[in-house]
Amino acid sequence: MSAIHLLDTATIDKIAAGEIVERPASVVKELVENAIDAGATVIQIEITDGGTQLIRVTDNGSGIDHEDIPKAFLRHATSKIENADDLMRLHSLGFRGDALASIAAVSKTEMVSKKAECDYAVCYRIEGGSEISCEKTGAPNGTSVTVRQLFYNVPVRRRFLKTPVSEAVRVHEIVMNQAMSHPDISFSFVTNGQVKLHTSGSGDVLETATRVYGMEFGREMLPVSAETEGLSVSGYIGSPALSRGNRKFETFFVNGRSVSSETAQKALEEAYRGYTMQHRFPVCVLYLQIAPDAVDMNIHPTKSRVRLADRISVYQMVYSACLQTLKTGGRVPTVTLEEPSEKTEKEREQKENDKLDYFMNQMRERVMAYHHEELPEIKSEPDTKAVERIKEEQREADGQISLFQHHAGVNRTHKRYQLIGQLFDTYWLVESDETLYIVDQHAAHEKVLFEQTMESLRNKEYTTQMVSPPIIMNVSEREEQVLKERLPELERIGYEIEPFGDRSWAVTGVPGNMFSIAQETLLRELIDDLSEDLPAKAAPDVILEYIASASCKAAIKGNTVMNKDQMNELLVRLFALDNPFHCPHGRPTMIAMTHRDLDKKFKRIV
C-alpha cells in the first residue's frame, strides 16, 4: 500500500499554507524535518555558497517506496496525516505535503532513496517543477536530497537574499536548533567543505549544548524538570552569570519542534526577575511535552509558532520549575573538568575524527554512486589551538565556578563569616570559607528591604496612606477597563481609587509601604503590565512586585558611613535569604575572590 497520498480538499482548506521556500535556511529546515520524521539517527547537511549553489541533506532513515518518490513532489502529498482530524493529534514535524513541491519548483532537485528491504535505490530528478528522469542506482539505505541553483528560475527572489556568508549563518542556526531539538540524532554541518558542527547523537542534552553553544554553556547550565498529567518540562537554564543581551538563546521545543512561545518566554523571564539585570535575558534549552490535542501546530506556514489550549498551566509549570531551579541552584555535572591523560585524549580525538571521517566519506560514496563524480575526500583536521583553549578553560573552571552555583543550597543563616570592614564608604569586605566577598551595601540593603516588604504584603499586612490633594489620572479606554477589572485587588492592598468622570480616576490613597515614591508613575506602570494578554500572570503577584520594587528606593546609598553593628545586622538578614546574590533589579549584591585566586594573582601558584 502506498505510504504517500494526496490530501482531500477539506483537509487542504484547513492547513495554514503559505510560501515555504524563502531562503536556503528554509529549504534546510524542511529537508531536515523530513529526515527526522523518517527515523534517521544520522543526518548530514552540506551547503555551498550559503546554499544558493548547493544544498544536500543526507540521512540514514527509512527511505521512500520507489513508486511514492514522484508522488512526494506533488502538492499536498504526505504520509504524515490522512484527514483534517489528524491536525489535532500531530506526532510528526511535517504534515502539509508542500515542502518538496515548493523546493522543486524553484531549483534543480535530485532525490536518491533506498529502503532497507530493496536491492537498489531510485534517483529522481526534477527541475523547476518538471520531471527530468527517474532511474535505478546504487546507494546506502536512507535518503539524500540535493538542491542546486536555488531560485535559478526566479531571479527576482535571488536579489532579496543576503551575502553567502549571511545565508550560511542562517542555515547554521537552523542546524543548531535541530541538533538541540533531537540530541539523540548525530548532526553534521559542512559549508564549503569545512565542518562547522558535529554532534554525537548520544542523547545527552548537556553534551549537545556544549558542542553547539560552547564550553561556557556546559559549565553554567542548571537542570530543570517538572511534570504533571499531560504536561512536562525538562532541559537546562543558564545561571544568572550566563545572561545575554537579547533573546536569541531562549530556546524552546514543543513536542520536539523548535518554536517561538510567548507564554513560555514570559514565564522564563518572570522566573529570572531579581536574578538578572534589566535588559539582560536568560539562556535556556527547555523541552515541553504537551498532549497533541492540547497544542495547535497549524497556525503558521513555517510551523514556528504554536497555539496552546491551556496557556495558564504551561506558564505556571515553566515559571515554577525555573524559579525552583534558581532558588535551589542545582549543581550541573561539569563537562570534563579533570585533565585527561595524553593517551586518553589522543584516543578520544582519534575516535571522534575516525567516526566523522567515516560518515563524511560514506556520504561522498553515496553521491558518487549516482553522479559518477570524483569528489575530494573530506577530512576533518583537529583545531589544535581550539583544543588547547578548551583545556585551559577546563583547568580554570575549578576556581571559577560561578558564585551562584558555588553557594546554592547552603543554609546561609548559619554561615560563618568575618566582617573585615568598609571600603570607600560603599563596599564591605567579608571573609568566609576561604573566600573574600565584596558586598555592595546599597544593593544588599535594597534586597533585604525588597524581601521584607514582599513578606509583609504576602501576609496581608496592608496599610493605606492618604493622598491630598488626590492624584487625577486620565486613562485610555484599555487602561480604564483594566482598572475596573482589577479595582478590588488594588483596594485590598491599600489603594483607594474612584471614577472622576470622562475616563479620569482619582487616587486618594496608596499603599503605605511605598515610601512616598512617585505614586502615579508606579500605578501607570502597574496598569501597563496588567494590560498584557497573559492570563497566567496573577494580578496580585504583579502588584506586590511593583510595590516591593518601589520600597527599595529607600535603601541606603553608597558613600554612606556605617558602623560594624549596622553592617553585621544587615549581613545576617542578607545571608538568610534564598537568593542573597542579586538585588531586585538583577545587579549583583556581592562579588567573590577565592583564596586560590589571590594566590594566583600574587604568583604563589602557577
Residue 266 belongs to domain with CATH number: 3.30.230.10
Residue 111 near residue 145, CB atoms below 8 Å: yes
* Residues 69 and 164 placed together within one structural domain of the fold: yes
Q: Residue 502: inside a domain, yes or no?
A: yes
Q: Residue 384: inside a domain, yes or no?
A: no
Task: Look up cell 559542512; give the residue.
Answer: 190
Task: Look up cell 570559607; give the residue.
Answer: 433
Q: Which residues contact 135 (CB under 8 A, 6 or more apart)?
A: 122, 123
Mean pLDDT value of segment 250-264 = 89
Mean pLDDT is lowest, of 51-60, 152-161, 344-353, 404-413, for: 404-413
The model's confidence at residue 471, banded by pLDDT at 50, 70 and 90, is confident
Q: Give the β-pairing of 250-254 and 284-290.
A: parallel
Q: Give the β-pairing of 186-191 and 142-148.
A: unpaired
pLDDT at 513: 59
Q: Is the pLDDT of residue 46 over 60?
A: yes
pLDDT at 543: 62
pLDDT digits (tens, 9 = 90+) for 438-467: 999 998 988 888 887 777 767 767 778 888
The model's confidence at residue 491, banded by pLDDT at 50, 70 and 90, is confident
* Residues 255 and 177 placed together within one structural domain of the fold: no
CA distance 603 to 606: 6
Question: E-assigned strands of 441-589?
Answer: 464-474, 496-499, 504-511
pLDDT digits (tens, 9 = 90+) for 163-222: 999 999 999 999 999 999 999 999 999 999 999 999 999 999 999 998 898 877 777 889
pLDDT at 107: 93
Q: What is the CATH number of the domain that holds 492?
A: 3.30.1540.20
- 559 dihedral zone (left: phi>0; alpha: psi -120 to 50; beta): left
Q: What is the CATH number of the domain that holds 18?
A: 3.30.565.10
DSSP 559: S
CA distance 59 to 47: 15
Q: What are phi and psi of 529, to 5 degrees?
A: -70, -40
* Residues 545 and 460 placed together within one structural domain of the fold: yes
* Residues 212 and 180 placed together within one structural domain of the fold: no
Q: At which of 195, 219, 236 does a domain end?
A: 195
* Residues 426 and 277 placed together within one structural domain of the fold: no
Nearest to 100, CA basis, from 110, 92, 90, 91? 110
What percent of the chain shows pLDDT beyond 70?
70
Q: Is the pLDDT of residue 224 over 80?
A: yes
pLDDT at 343: 56
* Residues 450 and 566 placed together within one structural domain of the fold: yes
Q: Residue 493: inside a domain, yes or no?
A: yes
Question: What total number of domains does the chain contain?
Answer: 3
* Residues 153 and 273 placed together within one structural domain of the fold: no
* Residues 220 and 321 placed together within one structural domain of the fold: yes
Residue 585 near residue 275, CB atoms below 8 Å: no
pLDDT at 234: 95
Question: Cell numbers of 476, please?
Answer: 485610555
> What are the b/e assignments for 85-122, b being 16+ CB within 10 Å?
ebbeebebbbbbbbbbbbbbbbbbbbbbbbbeeeeebb
* Residue 310, domain extent: 206-328
DSSP helix/strand/coil, 221: strand
* Residues 69 and 183 placed together within one structural domain of the fold: yes
CA distance 296 to 307: 5
Nearest to 393, CA basis, from 579, 218, 205, 553? 218
Mean pLDDT is lowest, of 295-299, 323-327, 547-551, for: 547-551
Nearest to 368, CA basis, from 137, 149, 104? 137
Q: At which of 300, 328, 356 does a domain end?
A: 328
* Residues 191 and 234 placed together within one structural domain of the fold: no
Question: Cell numbers of 270, please?
Answer: 518572570
Q: What are phi and psi of 371, to 5 degrees?
A: -110, -15
CA distances from 187 to 143, 167, 379 (A): 15, 19, 16
Which of the pair, 403 or 587, is modelled with greater confidence? 587
Q: Residue 383: inside a domain, yes or no?
A: no
What percent of the chain shows pLDDT beyond 90?
31
DSSP 602: T
Mean pLDDT value of segment 256-284 = 86
Q: At which of 163, 195, 227 does a domain end?
A: 195
Element (H, E) at 317: helix 311-328
CA distance 396 to 337: 9
* Residues 460 and 592 placed together within one structural domain of the fold: yes
Instruction: Let me know if 188 is exposed, middle or buried by CB neighbors in 10 A (0-12, 13-18, 19+).
Output: buried
pLDDT at 406: 45
DSSP helix/strand/coil, 474: strand
Q: Which residues contact 203 (CB under 8 A, 6 or more apart)?
A: 183, 184
Q: Is the pLDDT of residue 490 over 50?
A: yes
Nearest to 99, CA basis, from 55, 42, 39? 55
Q: Is the pLDDT of residue 338 over 90?
A: no
* Secondary structure of 357-383 in HEC code, one letter for each residue: HHHHHHHHHHHHHHHCCCCCCCCCCCC
Q: Residue 469: inside a domain, yes or no?
A: yes
Strand order in the sheet with 504-511: 464-474, 504-511, 496-499
The model's confidence at residue 7, banded by pLDDT at 50, 70 and 90, is very low
CA distances from 574 to 327, 433, 570, 571 (A): 15, 17, 6, 5
Q: Residue 337: inside a domain, yes or no?
A: no
Q: Give the β-pairing of 108-114 and 121-127.
A: antiparallel
* Residues 224 and 78 placed together within one structural domain of the fold: no
Radius of gyration of the chain (CA): 29
Question: Cell numbers of 451, please?
Answer: 524581601
Task: Look up cell 504533571; give the residue.
Answer: 228
A 10 A CB-CB count for 288 gives 25
Instruction: Let me know if 83 is exposed, middle or buried by CB neighbors in 10 A (0-12, 13-18, 19+).
Output: exposed
**Helical residues (DSSP H) of 435-476, grouped into ranges:** 441-458
Mean pLDDT of the chain: 77
